[in-house]
């Protein structure tokens, strides 16, 4: 999920390949749509070289922040512009996720913009909570949604991660990664939907689980779109995280397990012993991992080749081992022993959370499928819905056609991304995975794949985008596609993924409402919540 900030500069070049500045470096390569950066190559932890001026803050276990309020206990994850730590809030006696942003002014500015949107959402959430009874997360999503309609009050804030606190931390100039860092405090959440799909070996999640997750995401999007006037712009599996019902009980349980591992000498190598190079963490080669390894590696190659690119950010590496790179990330208390501070940064390993342990059930027990609750995270790319935006947004595989051709976009771009995500949850595969060749770019192939599947080219797409003429001729035909191989979404579900005919029909009809190529006809989140497939 975690994303790399990109700051576009004015350019008359092709929309799909804007110039961008990364840490003050201007990269003028206009042939590379979705650049793969050095930090996005497969690795287990952040680059030690990023602990420099303007970079990560050097953190060790036991460090304190905000006048000793927050005490660092473990590392949760990392991303291009921040590291995230499990911390104990000594005032409220609870655990939190502490996100520490790089000190470069560009990253600080983006973090402050994110905070502004998060506080706006937080204010709306508090208003919604005060208007309706029972503000806690309700396990029964159907009943919760029906109660929403009855009360007329918005409870979607329950499915958007809330900012708890934020502050500045001055690390001084005498340590690697010194300077002033924006720090953001969030609730502790579990693994992402990408990790969840991995648990099912990318063969698709149970349909009822997908319905439950989809309802909750739509609840969150309806809150962001209609109540807050915010467009997320980067809906994807990495940005949907699983809520932990009782964080403190879970952490207590994990600490007990850690103590037993230590006493039996089976505790993993302590991250505190890491050198200034990045340590490796092998994948646990269970039978299920071995069976799905080829498929996982294929998906990993695709995700590494296609990092997200937006007007503000490019996403980081998303690897298929047990590590998670996200704002909240997955949590495992492989906590190193507190050591004396060194003048050199030490890379502390982050590990994954076991969802079955989180749900307090046996691994073979699938009852947690009906209790899973998710939250939308990372508003680092978000924009206010009242603007006239045309800049490039969304991760490649979830990018809407209006964005590709340079049209003004709105909150329906999030709905398109969700449609792609729902297909992925059901099948384990991308819906659209465009490829470039020597003659055509990824945007050309992306539009071909969209039109082949959805079988329509709205007039607005042909003439309404700043770059429409680069893709379409005067007859409304694709310039770079000699032959279109049309297929129906229903047939893809039935023939490729062996869904029963009735199920393929109902799912394809639901997906079509989110994948309407004409964004003016695409359903809103609020309307989709009433769809028969979700309520059946």
- Please list the active-site residues: 234
DSSP secondary structure, 279-305, as one string: PP------HHHHHHHHHHHHHHHHHHH
8 Å CB contact between 374 and 216: yes
> How far is residue 438 from each of residues 31, 36, 214, 435, measured CA to CA in Å?
11, 18, 38, 10
Q: How many CB atoms lie within 10 A of CB 66?
A: 18
Q: How far apart are CA 221 and CA 216, in angstroms?
A: 9
Question: Which token pair is 110?
Answer: 């983006």
8 Å CB contact between 375 and 220: yes
Question: Which token pair is 451?
Answer: 């039109």
Question: Which token pair is 186?
Answer: 């969030």
Closest CA to 50 of 309, 306, 269, 316: 316
Q: How many CB atoms lie within 10 A of CB 166?
A: 19
Q: How far apart are CA 109 and CA 168, in angstroms?
A: 12
DSSP β-bridge partners for residue 220? none
For the chain, state the CA radius of gyration: 23
């Amino acid at each position: 999920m975690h994303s790399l900030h990109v700051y576009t500069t004015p350019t008359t070049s092709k929309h799909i390949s804007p110039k961008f500045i990364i840490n003050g470096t201007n990269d003028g390569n206009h042939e590379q749509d979705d650049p793969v950066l050095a930090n996005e190559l497969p690795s287990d932890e952040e680059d030690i070289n990023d602990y420099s001026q303007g970079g990560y803050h050097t953190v060790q276990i036991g460090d304190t922040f905000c006048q000793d309020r927050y005490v660092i206990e473990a590392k949760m994850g990392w991303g291009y512009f921040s590291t995230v730590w499990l911390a104990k809030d000594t005032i409220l006696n609870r655990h939190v996720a502490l996100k520490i942003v790089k000190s470069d002014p560009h990253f600080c500015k983006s973090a402050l913009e994110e905070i502004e949107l998060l506080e706006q959402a937080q204010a709306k959430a508090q208003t919604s909570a005060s208007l309706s009874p029972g503000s806690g997360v309700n396990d029964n999503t159907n009943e919760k949604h029906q109660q929403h309609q009855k009360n007329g009050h918005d409870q979607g804030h329950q499915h958007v991660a809330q900012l708890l606190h934020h502050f500045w931390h001055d690390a001084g100039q005498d340590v690697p990664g010194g300077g002033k860092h924006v720090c953001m405090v969030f609730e502790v959440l579990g693994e992402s939907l990408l990790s969840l799909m991995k648990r099912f070996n990318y063969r698709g999640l149970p349909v009822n689980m997908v319905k439950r997750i989809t309802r909750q995401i739509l609840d969150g999007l309806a809150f962001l779109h209609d109540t807050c006037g915010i467009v997320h712009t980067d809906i994807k599996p990495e940005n949907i995280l699983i809520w932990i019902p009782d964080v403190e009980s879970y952490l207590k349980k994990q600490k007990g397990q850690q103590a037993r591992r230590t006493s039996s000498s089976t505790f993993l190598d302590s991250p505190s012993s890491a050198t200034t190079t990045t340590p490796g963490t092998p994948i646990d080669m269970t039978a299920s991992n071995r069976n799905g390894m080829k498929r996982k590696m294929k998906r990993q190659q695709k995700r590494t080749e296609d990092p997200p690119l937006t007007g503000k950010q490019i996403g980081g590496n998303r690897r298929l081992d047990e590590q998670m790179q996200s704002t909240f990330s997955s949590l495992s208390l492989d906590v190193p022993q507190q050591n004396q501070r060194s003048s050199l940064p030490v890379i502390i390993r982050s590990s994954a959370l076991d969802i079955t342990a989180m749900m307090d059930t046996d691994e073979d027990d699938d009852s947690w499928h009906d209790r899973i609750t998710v939250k939308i995270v990372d508003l680092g790319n978000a924009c206010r819905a009242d603007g006239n935006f045309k800049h490039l947004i969304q991760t490649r595989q979830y990018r809407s056609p209006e964005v590709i051709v340079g049209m003004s976009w709105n909150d329906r771009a999030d709905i398109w991304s969700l449609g792609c995500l729902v297909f992925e949850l059901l099948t384990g595969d991308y819906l659209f995975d465009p490829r470039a060749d020597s003659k055509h770019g990824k945007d050309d192939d992306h539009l071909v794949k969209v039109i082949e599947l959805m079988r329509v080219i709205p007039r607005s797409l042909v003439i309404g985008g700043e770059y429409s003429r680069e893709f379409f001729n005067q007859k409304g035909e694709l310039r770079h596609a000699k032959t279109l191989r049309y297929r129906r979404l229903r047939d893809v579900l039935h023939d490729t993924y062996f869904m029963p005919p009735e199920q393929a029909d109902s799912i394809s009809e639901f997906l079509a409402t989110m994948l309407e190529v004409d964004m003016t006809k695409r359903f809103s989140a609020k309307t989709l919540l009433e769809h028969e497939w979700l309520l059946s």
